[in-house]
Amino acid sequence: MHIGFLGLGNMGGPMARNLLKAGHTLTVFDPSPLATAALVELGARTTNGPAELARDGVAAIITMLPTAAHVKDVYLGAEGLLANVNRGVLLIDSSTIDPLSAREVAKAAAAQGNPMLDAPVSGGTGGAAAGTLTFMVGGTDSAFDHAQPLLAAMGKNIVHCGASGNGQVAKIANNMLLGISMVGVAEAMALGVSLGMDAKVLAGIINTSSGRCWSSEINNPFPGVLENAPASRGYSGGFGTDLMLKDLGLATEAARHAKQPVVLGAAAQQLYQTFSLQGYGGLDFSAIINLFRREA
């Protein structure tokens, strides 16, 4: 299939590569010439912007952008996708943005005859490269069915979350819970160790008890508990604190508009913000445990 792909960053780049590998034809665009060149080398065509990309005869367009402002600009702007794309072309936005913006753009697309899906991902740059991302997808059944083979070239779990915007809802609800759980594990591990327990023994007990969670089992924040976790390599790699902050910001903002209290969600956001202010925004978010441990 001939696919347009906009946004070739740390996530978008490897996702586009996996589409090429799966045999699709690609027309790509990214403001960075370097990012673009890397795809062109692998056989992709390039264009000078969204408008031209939209008019390049593509059957579907996938976007992977940093913020809702970028998404609105690329889709709704005068030189954007909607103003230039043919009726019927499938639109898939994999950016992580707030559900309200996602619904607004999807509604505009639908109004002119373009089915649109919000399809944010989890799995990080590793999952993007390996083609094992999880896609959380919001939109109609027919658009979802249509998109599934494309998404399957880039991910492993393709979950239909319901109507438009629900992909974003699922993502921010899950990641808010993740951000809370990680702080919870960090506090519990730091407390237990300061009260005299061995970190591995404590993690073992938690992981077979009612405290168990992804953050204790897969990404335990205490150094040395899991050999392959960021905590055991100085918190490098993984999911950056500032990225967690972005998702918690989306969650608390969405909650504000929905008049929904998220007490621990907001508290977790503020703790990551406090930690980031101290200069650690680039570390894996499990490094938040350092807020609760005496400096060595």
To a second copy, the closest distance from the beta carbon of 197 in angstroms equals: 5
Phi, psi of 84 (to 5 degrees): -125, -10
Q: What is the C-alpha to C-alpha distance for residues 128 and 21, in angstroms, rounded to an integer?
A: 13
Between 117 and 262, CB nearer to a second copy: 262
Side chain identity, residue 4 = G
Q: Does the protein bind a second copy through residue 76 (CB under 8 A)?
A: no
Q: Is residue 258 a contact residue for a second copy (CB under 8 A)?
A: yes
Q: Check 107, 171, 246, 259 and give the catalytic one.
A: 171
Could you give the CA distance from residue 160 to residue 6 in angstroms, rounded to a whole number?
A: 23
Closer residue to a second copy in complex, CB, 20/173:
173
List b or e across 115-124, with b for residues whose CB sees 16 or more CB atoms inside 10 angstroms. bbbbbbbbbb
- The residue among 28 and 176 lying less far from a second copy, judged by its C-beta, is 176
Kindly state the DSSP code that residue 6 receives in the 8-state scheme.
E
Distance separating alpha carbons of residues 286 and 272, to the nearest angstrom? 10
Binding mask 117-146 for a second copy (x = CB under 8 A): -----x-----------x-x----------
264 counts as binding a second copy under rule CB under 8 A = yes
Residue 35 interacts with a second copy (CB under 8 A): yes or no: no
Is residue 120 within 8 Å of 30, Cβ to Cβ? Answer: no
- Dihedral over Cα of 149, 155, 157, 163: its sign: negative
Residue 116 touches a second copy, criterion: CB under 8 A = no
> Considering the rule CB under 8 A, would residue 185 count as an interface residue with a second copy?
yes
Residues comprising the chain, all counted: 296
Looking at the Cβ atoms of 22 and 264, the one nearer to a second copy is 264
For the CA atoms of 149, 151, 157, 160, the dihedral, rounded to the nearest 10 degrees, stands at: -90
Figure out which of the listed residues 19, 44, 206, 231 binds a second copy, where binding follows CB under 8 A: 206
The DSSP output letter for 77 is S
CB of 52 to a second copy, least distance (A): 27
Whether 171 is catalytic: yes
Q: Which is nearer to a second copy, 44 or 176 (CB)?
A: 176
| Size of site (CB under 8 A) for a second copy | 84
- 268: contact with a second copy by CB under 8 A: yes
Catalytic residue positions, numbered: 171
